[in-house]
Amino acid sequence: MNPTRKLQELGQSLWLDNITRSMLQDGTLQRYIDAFSVTGLTSNPTIFDRAIGGSDAYDAAIRERAGTVRSDEDLFISIALDDLRAAADALRPIHERTGGVDGWVSMEVSPLLAYDTTGSIEAAKQIHEQAERPNLLVKIPGTAEGLPAIEEAIFRGIPINVTLLFSCEQYLATAEAYLRGIERRIEAGLDPRVGSVASLFVSRWDRAVADRVPAELRNRLGIAIGGRTYRAYRELLASPRFEALAKRGARAQRLLWASTGTKDPDASETLYVEALAAPDTVNTVPDNTLEAFAERGTVGRPLPADGGNAEAELARFEKAGVDLDALAAQLQRDGAESFVDSWKALLGRIASKRETLGSR
């Protein structure tokens, strides 16, 4: 049996961390769905910057809309949503078959809004309305300013993918925002079934400490953080608070493993996928990791509900001088800044193409 199918049978969803217009048109996404059990898709500014800059597939749309769309940001959102609607439609049968648990795509609000609560709420509302698809998650960063935006968006019935989470504490703050949003919906007599995932970034931990820890600890920190967070996730799902909401029809905000492509060229391409095989989670992977896992990955013992030996592993990192709380905060700040850089590069590319193509 294909390893990707084994993950699905274990109870983990495998989502693609990529989107291009060509993969939608040439059947690649459908092949991933059919052959590799892919049941969702995520995007971010970096992915779209590569997609738009790496081909002429978007040129016709940019040329057609260059003179009618007000800003470069609006033009980008317009063409990005074209792709995401197509992907959402391809995944719609999965979404319907799973009762809305799976079959999602994701679109990010402007990274410039990472510390802007009101702006994030309005951007999420705009994207949700423009998309016109029930299986599109809007990405909002799990920053301190993002948390009230997440709660409000959930209350308004906007499905949310919380991005840029790096620690158990950041995850729990996100889960609290989600639960408050659902509780407010129930109090208001609204449907509590609002989709959401909480995306914990994994491999960036290991890249950050690669030169600061002994060789025997390399490529183990991200997995240990994942184990600690998974334990908290399982405890939340078993809590009286969530069980009461579930009885009213609420869904779990699923824990999603993000950044699971291996950064260390000396490590296995499938390192994080194999180590973080866990029921009731999502793993979003880039194409090369998906292909590698489908060809030669293995599915062994799933991650234990108690996180396994995560706490012992984390203690070893702390003994080696790693301040986990400080590094988690730094990784979130760095991640937000990186997405801002990608966003600016993306809009610069859109502006350049808009000027060149619009004049033809």
Q: Which two tokens stand for residue 139?
A: 């990405």
What are the CA-CA distances from residue 323 to residues 134, 202, 211, 215, 329 (Å)?
Answer: 41, 16, 15, 18, 10
- 139 is annotated as an active-site residue: yes
348 contacts: CB under 8 Å, gap ≥ 6: none
Which of the 8 DSSP states describes residue 111?
A: G
Q: Annotated catalytic residue: which of 139, 263, 319, 353?
A: 139
Spatial contact of 330 and 35, defined as CB atoms under 8 Å apart:
no
Where would I find the beta strands (DSSP E) of the chain?
Answer: 12-16, 38-41, 105-108, 136-141, 160-165, 196-201, 254-258, 281-285
**Nearest by Cα to 105 from 51, 31, 24, 187:** 24
**Nearest by Cα to 116 from 145, 80, 90:** 145
Spatial contact of 138 and 153, defined as CB atoms under 8 Å apart:
yes
Give the angle 95-101-102 at the CA atoms, nearest 5°.
Answer: 50
Catalytic machinery residues = 139
